[in-house]
Homo-oligomer: A and B are copies of this chain.
Amino acid sequence: MLNYTAPPTPAPVDLARLAKWLKVLAEPNRLLIFHLLMEGVQCNCELGEHLKMAPNLISHHLRVLREAGLIEVERDSLDARWIYYSVNRQALQALNQVWSAFFDPQRIKPRRLTCGPQGEMIRLSQVHEG
C-alpha cells in the first residue's frame, strides 16, 4: 500500500561496497581492460598491445581491479614469468546481484508529500490526528 509520508527504506544493498566496485570500473581504461579480460586477453604484454599503454600503468590498473576482488591472478605453469589475469566469476555474479537489487526500477516510489505546500497540509492534518 502506498504511503506518501512513510520514511525512506534503507538501501537493499551495502552502498559502500557497491560504490567501491563502481568506482573501480568507472575508470575508462580499467573498464576497457575488464572488457579485454572477458575477451580472453589476459597477460600484461598482450593487453599492452591493444591498449597502447605502458606495462607499469596496466599493472597498476590490474592491481586496482584485483584488490577490488574483481579479477584473479595466475602464473603460467610452464614459464612462471608470464602472469595471467582473469575475471573473477563469483565476484561478477555478486556484482550483478547487487546491481540488480539496487537499480531495480520497481523500487522507485512516488514522491513523499512531506515537503512543499502539500506537505504543510499533511503535516497539519497529522497534528490533528495525533
Contact = CB atoms under 8 A, between A and B. Distances in A.
Interface of A: 4, 8-9, 11, 15-16, 18-19, 22-23, 25-28, 31-32, 35-36, 38-43, 45-46, 50, 76, 78-79, 82, 84, 86-87, 89, 92-93, 95-96, 99, 102-103, 105, 107-112, 114-118
Contacts of A19: 25-28, 31
A50 B7 CA distance: 10
A117 to B, nearest CB: 4
B82 A117 contact: yes
Most buried by B among A27, A31, A87: A31
11 contacts: A11-B32, A15-B28, A19-B28, A22-B23, A23-B23, A23-B27, A40-B110, A45-B115, A82-B115, A86-B111, A92-B103
